Amino acid sequence: SEQKRVERWYYRKSPRSLDRVVLIHGGKVVAIEIERR
């Protein structure tokens, strides 16, 4: 059995506070959300 872990990566790509959330489950990208504040 491999490690089943859900990791969230938060990083700002733009000086405008652009947050990109990458949801990874089992080494696969499940969902990519871009939140603009």
pLDDT at residue 28, as a whole number: 72
Average pLDDT, the chain: 58
Mean pLDDT of 12-37: 62
19, burial (CB in 10 Å: exposed 0-12, middle 13-18, buried 19+): middle
Tell me which of 7 and 34 has the higher pLDDT. Answer: 34
Percent of the chain at pLDDT > 90 equals 0
Whether the model pTM is above 0.85: no
Domain ranges of the chain: 6-36
pLDDT at residue 20, as a whole number: 61
In whole angstroms, what is the distance from residue 32 CA to residue 19 CA?
11
In this predicted structure, the answer to whether residue 2 has a pLDDT above a threshold of 60 is no
